[in-house]
Amino acid sequence: MPIQVLTSDVANKIAAGEVVERPASVVKEIVENAIDADSTSVNVDLRAGGKRLIKISDNGIGMSREDALIATERHATSKINKIEDLESIQTFGFRGEALPSIASVSKLELLTRTADQLEGTKITIEGGNVQSVEESGCSPGTHLSVKNLFYNVPARLKFLKTETTEMNHINNQVMWAALAHPSIAFSLRHNDRSLLNVRVCESVIERVRLLYSKDLAEGLIEIESEQSSFKIHAFIGNADLTKSNRNYQLFFLNRRPIRSKVVSAALNEAMQSFIAKGRYAVA
């Protein structure tokens, strides 16, 4: 086969695979956009583990008609405008790839309005192609509906796991966001059943109490430390609060959830003289 330039449709679907691996990837990207938009409430509603529908609404700053149209284009972002901005990035998203990537492999509806506008903007996209742009009434903020994810990429659809497995991944994403941002209210519903609903909290420990339990929260010891180039804020379980695996060890870097064998090993080494063999600290 001779060398040829891929069509934009094929290129967009390939690029989408780097951003959108499964329904949880869509939830992560849209929730992070909501956080960046100064939202104080984020609601996630799903059908069939996110395969059939992912609907996320926020009460953030919203977008004008012009900004909403530009946001559907690849590499369009309000987060940076020059290379030096990467050195001081404070937001979650900045590449301008999430929304167009999601839109290229789904049937997407974007409804958005700023607080100073009388009418909102509704944009409908199927497989990356804009179908309609019209005025529409809506509350301030942004409301995204993603239907039939991977409907036009059957090979990707085939590799999605069971509804339960996909929901576990989504639940983790929303839980992590809720832990890292106690000043934002979060709700998660699946097939009309409420899975999570937490109000705005004044502290991380209050959010822990709502997401887990009063007993777990009361068993945590708060630790704060500041060095020349970084700060540490941690909650570590006392010697009586241990688990049989590392699932209750959660680490965040600049409020982003991370996996770190180094940090986990350091925690376990520090706690090994206080807890029984085969048990793991909660943190």
Q: Inform me whether the pLDDT recorded for 199 exceeds 90.
A: yes
| pLDDT recorded at residue 82 | 47
| pLDDT recorded at residue 97 | 78
pTM across the whole model: 0.88
Domain boundaries, the chain: 8-198, 219-281
Q: Which residues lie below 8 Å from residue 100, measured CB to CB, with a gap of 6+?
A: 12, 72, 73, 74, 76, 128
DSSP assignment of 157-221 equals: HHT---HHHHHHHHHHHHHHHHHH-TTSEEEEEETTEEEEEE---SSHHHHHHHHT-HHHHHTEE
The span from the first CA to the last CA of the chain, in angstroms, equals: 54
Rg (CA), the chain: 21
Which residue type sits at 244? S
3-state secondary structure of 141: strand
How far apart CA 119 and CA 138 sit, in angstroms, is 7
| pLDDT recorded at residue 98 | 83
Residue range 6-63, pLDDT digits in tens: 465 655 555 544 568 999 999 999 999 999 999 999 999 999 999 999 999 999 999 9
Which residue type sits at 99? L
| Mean of all residue pLDDT scores within the chain | 88
Hey, which residues does 133 pair with through a beta bridge?
123
How far apart CA 16 and CA 18 sit, in angstroms, is 5
Residue range 67-116, pLDDT digits in tens: 999 888 865 454 445 444 444 455 555 455 789 899 999 999 999 999 99
What CATH number is given for 8-198 in this structure?
Answer: 3.30.565.10
Instruction: With CA atoms as reference, report the closest residue to 234 among 219, 212, 250.
Output: 250
If you average pLDDT over residues 149-170, what whole number do you get? 95
